[in-house]
Structure 1
Amino acid sequence: MTVKDIGQKIVGFKVVPNGKVTPFPQPDDDPSIKRIEERPEGSLEAVSEKIVYSTSEGKQKVYVLVSFINVEGVLDGEPVTIERPIEFFFPIGQGTSEHQWISATMRSLSLAARGGYAAQNLQDLRKVAWDKGPVRCGTNPHGKPLYHNSEVAAIAWALQQILYRRGFLDADYNQVPARYLAKASQSAPAEFVEVGQEETETKAKGAGPAVVGECPECTGDLILRDGCPTCSCGYSKC
């Protein structure tokens, strides 16, 4: 019997008859929650978007950038690769000095993304309120304006739209499980459009509106309209 050097830590063993070796399945390493220590060098695929909203001081517009990275992992013993957001960037020089707080929030959101909990962070940002009244940003399927509790909350909603269109969030803005992200990695890319007070419509190239669920009233297909699951019978989750 030949004994070979073992170059890694032994985590278990199994004795099998007839000298046959059965490899152990690799332990799960969920790529959706794997911590990324730092942004890698070089260029990354990113989405740059103009966000239009209105406050008590009038119409505002800002630009944001979201970078994405492919992360490898193991699920059910099989290697998988998913796409994750890794960086949220708010370019400086966009209006008032109050935007420094949004820039600081983007830095914290980037840390959350590298830690695997960007979806939860965005949900929390949607709850941020200020004392200047509601902020109008986006519309519902019936053309009615959407109002948010603050400027930060409106921008967080717009960021959720980016991640939803990218397939990273579901219709309720929860993170899609890694196994489904891996299956969707070969699907057609989405077209990205401006998020603002005008009607927002996103479609996969060469396909019709994506079905995001089943209508609880008529059991028909729910499709995304302006970031809101909507049915042809008139039902709207928003």
Structure 2
Amino acid sequence: MKKLLSLAILLLFTTGAFAQDADPNASNTVVVISNSTKLSDQADVFSVFDQYERPFWNSLVSQGDLLGFGHMSHSWGDEYNHNVYFVAEDKSAFFDAWDRYSTELDVPEEVMSETQRKILKHKDNIYIHTAFYGNGEITSGTVMLNQNRVSYADQGTYVSLFREYSFPILKEMVDDGKLNSFGLLLHEWGDEWNTNFYFQADDELQFHEAWSEYLSVLSSEHPDVLEQLVDMTMAHKDNLLYERVPQN
């Protein structure tokens, strides 16, 4: 993937880009660029992103070339602590936007080189984003990324169950102000975590309350569905991330 290391510093999730009519079958593309850096370099890397990249990506969103983008720092989980995600109509739209980034971003070469030097580890993932819903507000907050490995023979069933049973529960929680957004991220290119979902909340406390309520409702109203989802999950890990939305 062309120069994905360049300055872009996961997922994936500007809430406004995920707001929609309640259609669990809707889909778009999410690209997540995950990086790790030393904590002592974190402030510098964030500063470069906010000064040079954020305005550029904002302009592409304003022009309709992207549906949205976001920058997330790491709160708990694996080593990827500087993450950028992009929401696009499809892969072609993302790569068109990335080509513009590669040729049009105005940043001093020495700044680019120094920032790249501080990136210790890097990976990219492309997802089909579906069964998503949000309140339309763009806010900072906690993002829980629930990553799962599901057999491709079972993935269709997993997605169908999520759309039919999980989506209505979570949509009601968003409408009631208990969550900001949620969605499914299905692996299209990248690592082995092929069936993932996220919650975005104001903070960790709200996330934990929402997570507890979701499991309680699903287990009480559809215990067989919860059992099926668990049984189809071959491996699992969680990451807590923090969506950064600087205040002007």
Give the alignment's TM-score, normalised by structure 1. 0.28
| Structure having the higher Rg | 1
What's the TM-score once normalised by structure 2's chain length?
A: 0.27
Higher relative contact order (CA 8 A, sep 6+): 2
**Going by fraction, where is helix more abundant, 1 or 2?**
2
